[in-house]
Amino acid sequence: MEQPIPVLTTPAAIVPAFPTAEPNEQGCNSELLEKAHQTITRSYPKMFSFLISRGGKLIQEKYYGNHHAGTLNDLRSATKSFISTLFGMAVHQGKLPSIDTPVLPLLKNYATRRTHPLLERITFRHLLTMTSGFAWQTGKKLGEPLIHRFHRNRKWASYALALPIMEAEMGTFQYRSTDSHLLSVALSEATGMDALTYAKEQLFLPLDINHYAWTPSPEGHSMGHIGLYLTSRDMAKFGQCCLHEGRWNEKQVIPKEWLKEALAPQINGYPAFGDYGFQWWTGKMDGQCFALAHGHGGQQIYLFPALDTVIVFTQDSHVSRWKNPRMLLEQFILKAIKA
């Protein structure tokens, strides 16, 4: 299996193509969008970018500090939504089994004598919805105290599979990054390539995404829970493809049937964040249904299907505390779009 080497810079002159339009051409209030931008400059010192795509065209594109359209962003946990998408593509191609299949037969090479007897009952659906029941700790803001122990281990897959399983918690949502990483391991086992290589062939090439990086685990798998780097425009492209039922430039890139399930609420999540689909958050804001790829620090891809709108935020990911841009959506952006 080819091991990816992350390249974390791109030339400033190389900017992904994306059609643009003025806000008023897409029926949006430019004054409210300008207020959102001015609020960011005053109150969001860690913001890197703010983009809005409506009707397939960029109507807002702002960068802050030294960041620009060619800069790669550290997506952190928004990586999870990409892993889910790649997993669904592989299922559709017949490379992976049904999501209701137990994980152990495919991941048996990583199981140890310390694995819990209930592991045989864990399915890929459990991993996709974070309902596996593996013993874990999660804070109110999705902090994971055990994640550092996981990262220090040299055998991530074996560590994740050896976690105790709480039978009473199976089927109940708990935010757990090891579930996401096991999806990446399963993808590698089924396709013979890491998630980055698979994404390059099946997702990035069709979307004309040419600048990216994906950090590998110690075992050579692309990290399943964090580790992906993309430009802001390419984040918007991915969001636009998902919003349009997996189509891009008249080609079906992501299976429509998969997205219908992945972007819908599958399990009750956390009140502060929403319900959970397949590695996507879901909910309602100002009466509008949304799906959200979300990463620490404020790496966000919002999909608002009824508004035909994708909204991208990126911020500094190397922070312990950060300011959620949701307030900008509620006070300015959604009102501007619905205007």
C-alpha span between 252 and 36 (Å, rounded): 34
| Res 5: pLDDT | 47
What CATH number does the domain containing 34 carry? 3.40.710.10
Burial 250-272 (b: 16+ CB within 10 A, else e): eeebbbeebbebbbebbbebbee
- Does the predicted model carry a pTM greater than 0.85? yes
| Residue 124 forms part of a structural domain | no
- Report if residue 238 sits inside a domain: yes
DSSP string, 10-39: --TT------B--GGGGT--HHHHHHHHHH
315: in domain: yes
Task: Name the strand (E) or helix (H) holding 291.
Answer: strand 288-295
Residue 14: the pLDDT is: 67
Strands 47-54 and 73-74: unpaired
Q: Is residue 325 part of a domain?
A: yes
> How many separate domains does the chain show?
1
131 is a domain residue: no
Q: Is 317 contained in some domain?
A: yes
Burial 16-37 (b: 16+ CB within 10 A, else e): bebeeeebeebebbeebbebbb
Q: Per residue of the chain (339 residues), what is the pLDDT tens digit?
A: 444 444 454 555 467 889 999 999 999 999 999 999 999 999 999 999 999 999 999 999 999 999 999 999 999 999 999 999 999 999 999 999 999 999 999 999 999 988 899 999 999 999 999 999 999 999 999 999 999 999 999 999 999 999 999 999 999 999 999 999 999 999 999 999 999 999 999 999 999 999 999 999 999 999 999 999 999 999 999 999 999 999 999 999 999 999 999 999 999 999 999 999 999 999 999 999 999 999 999 999 999 999 999 999 999 999 999 999 999 999 999 999 987
Q: 301 is in which domain, residue-wise?
A: 23-72+233-338
Residue 108 within a domain: no
Phi, psi of 310 (to 5 degrees): -120, 135
Domain-located, residue 68? yes
Tokens 């219908």 — which residue? 260
